[in-house]
Amino acid sequence: MTASSARTLHPGGYAPGNTAFRLIVFDWDGTLMDSEARIVDAMRRALVETGLEVPPRERLRAVIGLGLMEAVAALLPREDRTTHARVADRYRTHYLAADGVPTPLFPGAREAVETLHRRGHRLAVATGKSRRGLARSLDESGLGGLFQATRCADETCSKPHPRMLLELMEACAVGPEETLMVGDTEFDLEMACRAGVASVGVTWGVHPPERLRRQAPLTILDSLEALPRWLAAQRRAAA
């Protein structure tokens, strides 16, 4: 590579100047679906039923995005794996008990996903949900047919390990330099960084902007409607 063709690389490995993102990977909970209240309530009930102290709501919110067992372990670092498994089992029971009440998408989520799909982007989901939970949410939202690939925490490594993202890129036949991760937690953006992928943070989820900035996202957006516009502007600027 000559000096004139070299590009500065982000610590994660991607080149910030690249804006031809063929693959857009979304987190689910807290990014596309407004499921925070349902998740927090199910976890609180699970802890009460197992006779454990319930942490403040902010601590419960802070682990959204991790796989279930990883989230429980983060909340209960002094408890053993047997206790973690009991809490996880009760969580699943309470989360599923709310199935009769649809969990809403965030404003603009459907329109943003449909716009990006229409423009020819490949779309994927990387989530801390179980496969069963994501399948239900995709069916409930009606968005399932727009995603080329999905990965869940119960079938691969939990975030922030990069494996989930690496598997999605392989499934979609797209390289790191052509991939963008969109998420509301530091776990999402750290996963992207470790996979050599660019990221965009969003402000309506569980982690505040100061946490997201630790992973050097390209930008932090205040609405999903802004994502297609931002991508179009980046492409025009690079043309």
- CATH code (residue 69): 1.10.150
pTM for this one? 0.86
Kindly state whether residues 30 and 109 are assigned to the same domain.
Answer: yes
My answer on whether 82 and 140 are in the same domain is: no
Taking Cα atoms as reference points, which of 50, 41, 34, 140 lies closest to residue 95?
A: 41
Q: Is the dihedral of CA 149, 219, 207, 190 positive or negative?
A: positive
Domain of residue 148, residue span: 23-34+104-238
Look up 27 and say whether it is catalytic.
yes
Beta bridge partners of 122: 23
As a whole number of angstroms, the distance between CA 93 and CA 82 comes to 17
My answer on whether 199 and 157 are in the same domain is yes
In a domain, 16, yes or no: no
Domain C-terminal end among 97, 112, 132: 97
Q: What is the rounded distance in angstroms from the CA atom of residue 99 to the CA atom of residue 182?
A: 26
* CATH number of the domain encompassing residue 164: 3.40.50.1000
Residue 107 in tokens? 């404003």
Residue that is last in its domain, among 80, 97, 114: 97
Please say if 222 is a catalytic residue.
no
**Tens-binned pLDDT, residue by residue, of the chain (239 aa):** 323 222 333 444 444 444 579 999 999 999 999 999 999 999 999 999 999 999 999 999 989 988 999 999 999 999 999 999 999 999 988 888 766 667 899 999 999 999 999 999 999 999 999 898 899 899 989 999 999 999 999 999 999 999 999 999 999 999 999 999 999 999 999 999 999 999 999 999 999 999 999 999 999 999 999 999 999 998 887 76
Q: Are residues 74 and 155 in the same domain?
A: no
Q: What is the CA radius of gyration of the chain?
A: 18
The last residue of one of the domains, among 97, 112, 139, is: 97
